[in-house]
């Protein structure tokens, strides 16, 4: 599934295979009225037949899952399981998931990257702050996807290679977009609105006895970038368990990256080993350049994580929150741990590089 290509994303946005454009415009009003009966009828009437799903293209399946998912999340928000209330719903979601090699429900990509822009945008509430959040994720996903692509080449390259530092710098430039976008979200999406209005639409659902997270930001590949840069061999058990669960529910190609990277030495470990090992003067220069670029990458991750943590603390403070955990299943405590570990690895890299400079 390509989320980098704007042409591909726009192709999915244009599609309306279930002819739900008009019906979905009424969804915010149905949610405002908590009209569960109407939501059940709407989802039941929208379900495609097995023959229709078999005839859909892959992109049509993605658009169909996007639109059915809006009803799924809405019913869940009102305390109703769509799979219990609507006969045949589970089968339709499972078939669409198989066709796309994704989980049997909508994800953050359906809700953001593949969501139409403008009048046809699929919204739970219709509030401008919901549009702002969707647009923020829509903006940063292609950049994080490019960072993951760059990461593939980093693990095949020695930190002493002349191009290693440049690749790290390019990766960092894409992470920086997420940091910039997070700054915008802090201004345009109130924590109170997220916690009490939007968050209930992102609840887990159970299909075939397994829980699947809602269209949560945890799906985006920032966890893969952590894994690549430091977490594969320097992460905590809790964070590594979280990464494994999120990886199982994200895009197929990122499940593959997870399988490749989870048991591989991180870039931090590789750069530290190169700093501590012998080398020629030209190799030393390239390693030190890689270390500087890696420090910048970790600092950029730290800036992003810091902003995310501030927002999470506000949204999940005891007097405001409706849920203990974030929409991706992580706690504020886990976010604090991730931030602390990122800072710890950055500091360790600084110390190692400083010791190298002091050597005769």
User: Which among 263, 249, 246 is positioned nearest to 338, based on CA atoms?
Assistant: 246
Query: In the chain, which ranges are E strands?
Result: 205-207, 210-212
Contact 224, 261 (CB under 8 A): yes
- 166-219 pLDDT, tens digit per residue, is 999 999 999 999 899 988 988 999 888 988 899 899 999 999 889 999 997 778
Better-predicted residue by pLDDT, 323 or 287 = 287
Say what the pLDDT of residue 268 is.
95
Q: What is the mean pLDDT of the chain?
A: 90
Inform me whether the pLDDT recorded for 306 exceeds 90.
no
Mean local confidence (pLDDT), 153-161: 89
Measured distance CA(246)–CA(213) in Å, rounded: 9
CB burial class (10 A; 0-12, 13-18, 19+) of residue 352?
middle
Say what the pLDDT of residue 284 is.
81
Inform me whether the pLDDT recorded for 234 exceeds 50.
yes
Q: Which residues have C-beta within 8 Å of that of residue 63, sequence separation ≥ 6?
A: 12, 13, 15, 16, 17, 18, 114
- 33-50 pLDDT, tens digit per residue, is 999 999 999 999 999 999
CA distances from 199 to 59, 195, 234, 324 (A): 27, 5, 31, 11
Say what the pLDDT of residue 316 is.
65
- pTM confidence score: 0.91
Say what the pLDDT of residue 67 is.
98
Say what the pLDDT of residue 216 is.
79
- 257-280 pLDDT, tens digit per residue, is 999 999 899 999 999 999 888 655
Inform me whether the pLDDT recorded for 360 exceeds 50.
no
Measured distance CA(40)–CA(50) in Å, rounded: 20
User: Which among 229, 211, 313 is positioned nearest to 269, based on CA atoms?
Assistant: 229
Coil/strand/helix, residue 109: helix
Measured distance CA(108)–CA(114) in Å, rounded: 9
Q: How many Cα neighbours within 13 Å face the side chain of 102? A: 24
- 341-352 pLDDT, tens digit per residue, is 999 999 888 888
DSSP state of 48: P
User: Which among 123, 330, 149, 137 is positioned nearest to 240, based on CA atoms?
Assistant: 330
Inform me whether the pLDDT recorded for 325 exceeds 50.
no
Better-predicted residue by pLDDT, 139 or 283 = 139
Say what the pLDDT of residue 253 is.
94
User: Which among 99, 112, 17, 9 is positioned nearest to 58, based on CA atoms?
Assistant: 99
Say what the pLDDT of residue 324 is.
53
Could you check whether 6-111 and 129-358 share the same CATH topology? yes
What are the structural domain ranges in the chain?
Answer: 6-111, 129-358
Say what the pLDDT of residue 323 is.
47
Q: Which residues have C-beta within 8 Å of that of residue 229, sequence separation ≥ 6?
A: 266, 267, 268, 294, 297, 298, 301
CATH label, 129-358, candidates 3.10.129.10, 3.30.420.40, 3.30.2320.50, 1.20.58.480? 1.20.58.480
- Return the CATH class of domain 6-111: mainly alpha
Q: How many Cα neighbours within 13 Å face the side chain of 260? A: 17
Say what the pLDDT of residue 358 is.
46
Say what the pLDDT of residue 282 is.
53
Inform me whether the pLDDT recorded for 357 exceeds 80.
no
Say what the pLDDT of residue 317 is.
61
60-84 CB burial, b ≥16 within 10 A, e <16: bbbbbbbbbbbbbbbbbbeebebbe
Mean local confidence (pLDDT), 306-327: 64
Measured distance CA(341)–CA(309) in Å, rounded: 14
Query: In 26-126, which ranges are E strands?
Result: none
Say what the pLDDT of residue 359 is.
44
């Amino acid at each position: 599934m390509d989320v980098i290509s704007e042409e591909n994303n726009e192709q999915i946005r244009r599609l309306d295979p279930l002819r739900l454009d008009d019906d979905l415009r009424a969804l915010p009003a149905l949610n405002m009225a908590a009209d569960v009966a109407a939501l059940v009828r709407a989802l039941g009437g929208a379900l495609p037949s097995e023959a229709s799903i078999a005839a859909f293209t892959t992109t049509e399946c993605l658009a169909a899952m996007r639109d059915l998912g809006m009803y799924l999340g809405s019913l869940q928000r009102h305390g109703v399981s769509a799979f219990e209330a609507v006969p045949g719903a589970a089968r339709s979601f499972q078939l669409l998931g198989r066709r796309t090699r994704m989980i049997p429900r909508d994800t953050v990509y359906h809700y953001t990257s593949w969501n139409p822009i403008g009048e046809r945008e699929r919204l739970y509430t219709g509030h401008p702050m919901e549009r702002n959040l969707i647009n923020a994720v829509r903006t940063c996903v292609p950049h994080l996807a490019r960072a993951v692509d760059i990461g593939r080449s980093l693990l095949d390259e020695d930190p002493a290679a002349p191009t290693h530092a440049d690749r790290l710098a390019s990766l960092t430039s894409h992470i920086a977009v997420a940091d910039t976008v997070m700054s915008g979200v802090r201004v345009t999406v109130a924590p109170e609105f997220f916690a009490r209005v939007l968050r209930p639409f992102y609840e887990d659902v159970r299909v075939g006895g397994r829980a699947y997270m809602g269209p949560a930001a945890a799906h985006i590949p920032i966890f893969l970038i952590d894994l690549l840069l430091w977490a594969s061999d320097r992460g905590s058990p809790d964070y590594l368990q979280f990464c494994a669960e999120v990886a199982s529910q994200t895009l197929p190609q990122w499940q593959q990256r997870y399988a490749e990277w989870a048991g591989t030495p991180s870039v931090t470990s590789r750069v530290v080993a190169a700093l501590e090992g012998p080398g020629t003067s030209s190799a030393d220069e390239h390693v030190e350049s890689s270390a500087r670029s890696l420090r910048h990458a970790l600092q950029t991750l730290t800036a992003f994580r810091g902003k995310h943590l501030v927002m999470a603390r506000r949204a999940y403070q005891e007097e405001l929150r409706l849920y203990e955990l974030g929409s991706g299943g992580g706690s504020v405590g886990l976010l604090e741990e991730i931030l602390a570990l990122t800072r710890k690895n950055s500091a360790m890299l600084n110390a190692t590089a400083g010791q190298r400079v002091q050597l005769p």
